[in-house]
Amino acid sequence: MGRDGHTATFLPDTGEIIYIGGINKGYGLIDIANMTVNPPEPRYGHTAVLSKRDFFYIYSMKLRIVIFGGAHFIIEQPVKTPYVVLDTKTFEWYIGPGDLLTRAPFRHHTATLYNDYMFISFGKYIFF
């Protein structure tokens, strides 16, 4: 089964690759709920970056996958929770606020992590 619009993040400590989100060629959702507790809503076209920082900007040895954006595969609208983080040791999710105010594109964008900042560029943005 092929997928489109997913992310693949390499974990250097374990050599594992974590695949998140996406749709298959038949345009059904890929289930991300089977490996974690309290997963975020399904999405495609999002970005994922690997970070060693925790939520309070204290250096941590835990690796986290920071996910931004994404769209529902049927309605082509942004997901309700555009900012989510996966703890790669416990596979638990932190789901950010659903009312995150941003002017960033929500799908098919790029994300670059630099120190404490994640830069979102290009991609698709819909005005509401």
Kindly state whether residue 19 falls inside one of the protein's structural domains: yes
Given a contact cutoff of 8 angstroms between Cβ atoms, the answer to whether 41 and 18 are in contact is: no
Q: Give dist(CA 121, CA 119) in Å, integer.
A: 6
pLDDT at 31: 52
Residue 128 lies in a domain: no
**How many angstroms separate the most distant Cα atoms in the chain?**
43
- Residue 34 in any domain: the answer is yes
Out of 19-23, 64-68, 113-117, 122-126, give the one with best mean pLDDT.
64-68
Residue found by looking up tokens 């749709």 in the block: 23
Model confidence band, residue 24 (pLDDT cutoffs 50, 70, 90):
confident
Residue 127, in any domain of the structure: no
Is 82 within a domain? yes
Whether residue 78 is contained in a domain is answered as yes
DSSP-derived letter for residue 46 is -
**Residue 128: predicted pLDDT:** 46
Question: Do you know the residue count of the chain?
Answer: 128
- pLDDT of the residue at 35: 54
DSSP SS3 for 18: strand
> Mean pLDDT score of the chain, rounded to an integer?
79
Whether residue 98 lies inside any domain: the answer is yes
Contacts of 29 (CB under 8 A, 6+ apart): 23, 42, 73
Instruction: Report the domain count for the chain.
Output: 1
- For 63, the domain range is 3-121
Kindly tell me if the per-residue pLDDT of 12 is higher than 80.
yes
Quick one: DSSP state of residue 37?
Answer: B
